[in-house]
Amino acid sequence: MANFTYLKYTDNKGSASATTITASTAATAYPASNLKTLPIAKHWRSTGITSEDLQLDLGSALSIDLFGLINHNITASGTITVNGGSSANPDGSQYTTTVTRSEFDAFKLLSTAETWRYWKFIFADTTNPDGYIKVGKLLLGDSTTLAFHWQYGSKFTDRFVNIFKRSGGGVPYYEPVYGLVSQVFSFGPLTVAEMVTLRTLYRDLQGSANPLFIIPESGASGSSGGGYFGRFVNEMVRTLNYQEYCDLEFESDGRGRDITA
């Protein structure tokens, strides 16, 4: 078991103003600049699937212990390689690792942070039926892990929003629009200092105004419970007693239909 880990989107170096992103190729309506803006349905799209890459210049060497690819279409047979280095176009001689592909959102949490200015994400997915690679958001940052855990038994909900119509003859028609997941995390009993930590996070995010990436159960060099990009959507209500309690409801950002530049 490991504790709740998060990266605030405001701390994401992949979308920071100082970061420059260049792509090996890019479809006209889906440039690499889409990676620096929300929503995650506005993505970068390559023109090929054999050997595509995204290169990032962070402007200076920064501590990074979390990589993430949000709203991607890489298949189970695809590969994701990440190189870091002190000069442009890092070739892996200074640092290299791989990210295990998972559906929609893939990430890797390092046991020890790496500090490099230049990063290169390399994708190969020769059997991708789309004929291109897409990524909605790149995450790079120095994550935070809480020193305390949420209560087991949290509620996890899969939710789908569909358009429903019925023909004149009564035939139903459903068209999927987007899907998302939500989770309710119950924290407590907490000390006053632990509650201050949660309140500070909630206020930094301005409630639901700013998103974050969460790993409910983090583990070194990987994950043990999945990772999700979204927001806390409820008001933070504290129960004050000898020790303190609160619930935080998290809702992932819906991927929706692809949005062009």
Band of pLDDT at residue 180, cut at 50, 70 and 90: confident
Domain count for the chain:
2
* pLDDT score of 120 more than 80: yes
* pLDDT score of 253 more than 80: yes
* pLDDT score of 220 more than 80: no
148 falls within a domain:
no
- Average pLDDT for the chain: 92
Q: Give the residue carrying structure tokens 């390399």.
A: 122
Residue 246 shares a structural domain with residue 202? yes
What pLDDT score was predicted for residue 92?
97
247 falls within a domain:
yes
What pLDDT score was predicted for residue 225?
60
Give the C-alpha separation, 81 to 217, whole Å.
24
197 burial level (CB within 10 Å; 0-12, 13-18, 19+): middle
pLDDT tens for 22-51 read 999 999 999 999 999 999 999 999 999 999
Q: Given 116, 143, 170, which residue is the final one in a domain?
A: 143
Give the C-alpha separation, 229 to 66, whole Å.
13
* pLDDT score of 259 more than 80: yes
257 falls within a domain:
no
* pLDDT score of 221 more than 80: no
Band of pLDDT at residue 170, cut at 50, 70 and 90: confident
149 falls within a domain:
no
What pLDDT score was predicted for residue 260?
87
What residues make up the domain containing 161?
A: 155-252
What pLDDT score was predicted for residue 219?
63
What pLDDT score was predicted for residue 222?
44
What pLDDT score was predicted for residue 85?
98
Segment (H or E) for 68: strand 52-70
* pLDDT score of 204 more than 60: yes
What pLDDT score was predicted for residue 175?
80
The alpha helices in 65-220, defined as continuous H runs, are 192-204
Residue 26 shares a structural domain with residue 135? yes
Band of pLDDT at residue 8, cut at 50, 70 and 90: very high
Mean pLDDT for 199-222 is 87
* pLDDT score of 146 more than 90: yes
68 falls within a domain:
yes
Q: Give the dihedral sign, CA 19/208/8/108.
A: negative
* pLDDT score of 79 more than 80: yes
**Using an 8 Å Cβ cutoff, are 57 and 118 in contact?**
yes
258 falls within a domain:
no
Q: CATH code at 96?
A: 2.60.120.260
